[in-house]
Structure 1
Amino acid sequence: MLGPHRYGKAETRLVRVHRDGDTHGLVDLNVSIALAGDLTATHLTGDNSAVLPTDTMKNTVYAFAKRHGVGEPEEFALLLARHFVRTQGQLDSARVSIESFAWDRLGPHSFQRRGDHTRTTVVTVTRAATQVVSGLTGLVLMNTTASEFHGFVKDRYTTLPETTDRILATAVDAKWRHLSDEADWGKSFQGAVDAMTTAFVNTYSLSLQQTLMSMGTLVLAKRPELAEIRLALPNRHHYLVDLSAFDLANENEVFIAGDRPYGLIEGTVTRDDAPPATAEWYQ
């Protein structure tokens, strides 16, 4: 028996230069499209009469970038998803996921790639509803103090010492679901980022879970257009170096930055009256 299925074109790389006079604009995207609907025949018998080629999806991305231009990633994703559902009667839904790579302006037509994080967007359009999820990945944050970790469960395998002063560092992956398909997308995105970083800075942390809750709560307090936010916070461990062999005291000054393994804290903060999601949104 055939279970749930979808197909599409993954990771179409798009760079769009907007040549408005002498000062150019630059948009750099990675676009993935997934379509679902009445596609049983192609799986069971190889009948492709309902299959829009994935190459056509790629061409649509480039053609729409020329015809319509590319503004906020949410706008472009909505445009593409609505097009596929509207023009392909055999489809039930279209999901468009976008990674947006930021460039800082150096001059009228010169740019420098920004590497601190990647903006993300996932738009799902069905016959009945539209869902917009924005987010980011790889936002690296660190507090060099104002973090403790103690009072935890201990068993025969526990070797971790308790601490009342530690480095707290993470690389934030976050996704937040919008209440509607209309918003000032750029302002909303930056507002959510500002709220997350503000909460990270101002929370005296007794656990990374507590910090996660503070970040999500402030985002929802500051951004009324959002229904909920999902955060994944890897704990980028920093281990104090033992300098006693050199007759040196290490008073929380010299650390080894750990790579693997790492703790991974995940959680969702939801508005009390938030309507349910219309499609999966944080996987």
Structure 2
Amino acid sequence: MAVVLGPNRYGKAETRVVRVTRDGDVHRIKDVNVSVALSGAMDAVHLTGDNSAVLPTDSQKNTVFAFAKEHGIAAIEDFGLLLARHFTRSQAAVAHARVEIHEYGWERITGGHSFARTGAEVRTALVHSDGEGGAESVVSGLADLVVLNSTGSEFHGFARDAYTTLEPTRDRVLATAVTARWRHRGTDADWDDSYRGAREDLLLAFAETRSLSLQQTLYQMGRRVLEAQAGLCEVRLSLPNKHHFLVDLKPFGLDNDNEVYFAADRPYGLIEGAVLADDAPPAPSAWE
């Protein structure tokens, strides 16, 4: 039996950077978590311990900090592309760079330099680059966007077996914490405008869909984003069903007309799926 080295990559994960931009007395902050992974002609380090092609992960961390100073951090997609292109162009052994960035939101309290962390979702970006002249891809997205419809959701007509106890309902609470990622057709876009538009489309589709299942809602959310955002070609969604169960108040002599719920955190249903434009170009590494 022959043993061979398979696909591999290495890098520095979760470099946390807070960049303060000081415009006189008015400051702006960017709070990001950057993960870099490099791959290419790296066989020797695995097979013989030859490190000559290995750029230390500490150097990758330092690059993130230095670039935050030298270039600032505007849209995280741009910062990801800047880093990915740097690593593929500056290191002969690196054929492919993957940069993933999560951004944490802050809001101004008062004055020019006081902020509070928002309770909003985390903005995400995932960039792949094969270097100058090679393939590149950008996937933007968000995580932990918590949404709830207090009515307008049903679930009935489902398959049953010997272990089914769930009762059908024509009026339930539908809640989820949205993780959504969307693939851009190119690498030159107004990232902030695109993000705002996609986020709004997700929220409107969730709010306006009379839902017979969370799967149906998932499809309508992805469909609305693609129909409204011409620069996007694919949306992937992960929607945990944040179950809300009516509390039985009869032992206390009380009716419960869809008013009091127990919010269960686990176990939960997990609905995942992709929605694509029919002309979406292939992107074999975009999501990895």
Q: The TM-score by the shorter chain falls in which range?
A: over 0.9
- Aligned residue in 2 for 1:174: 180
Q: How much identity, in percent, do the aligned residues show?
A: 59
Q: 2:248 aligns with which of 242, 248, 270?
A: 242
Normalising by structure 1, what TM-score?
0.98
CA contact (8 A) 1:131 1:278 kept: no
Deviation at 1:166, TM superposition (A): 0.2
- Aligned residue in 2 for 1:49: 52
CA contact (8 A) 1:143 1:168 kept: yes
Deviations 1:105-146 (A, max 9, x none): 123111111122100000000142110000010000000000
Q: 2:78 aligns with which of 75, 83, 94?
A: 75
> What residue ranges of structure 2 are gaps of 5+ in the alignment?
none
What is the number of residues matched between the two proteins?
282
Deviation at 1:278, TM superposition (A): 4.5
In structure 2, distance between residues paired with 1:168 and 1:278? 33
In structure 1, distance between residues paired with 2:196 and 2:77? 14
CA contact (8 A) 1:143 1:167 kept: yes
> What residue ranges of structure 1 are gaps of 5+ in the alignment?
none
1:227 aligns with 2:233: yes
Structure 1 stretches of 4+ with a deviation exceeding 4 A read none
- Aligned residue in 2 for 1:143: 149
Write the letter of the residue equivalent to 2:85. R
Write the letter of the residue equivalent to 2:273. G
In structure 1, distance between residues paired with 2:102 and 2:238? 17
Normalising by structure 2, what TM-score?
0.97
- Aligned residue in 2 for 1:159: 165
Write the letter of the residue equivalent to 2:135. A
In structure 1, distance between residues paired with 2:187 and 2:148? 33
Please, what is the CA RMSD of the aligned residues?
A: 0.8
In structure 1, distance between residues paired with 2:62 and 2:119? 28
- Aligned residue in 2 for 1:123: 127
Q: How does 1:246-261 map to 2 (within 5 A)?
A: 246-261=252-267
In structure 1, distance between residues paired with 2:217 and 2:141? 18
1:7 aligns with 2:10: yes
Q: How does 1:184-195 map to 2 (within 5 A)?
A: 184-195=190-201
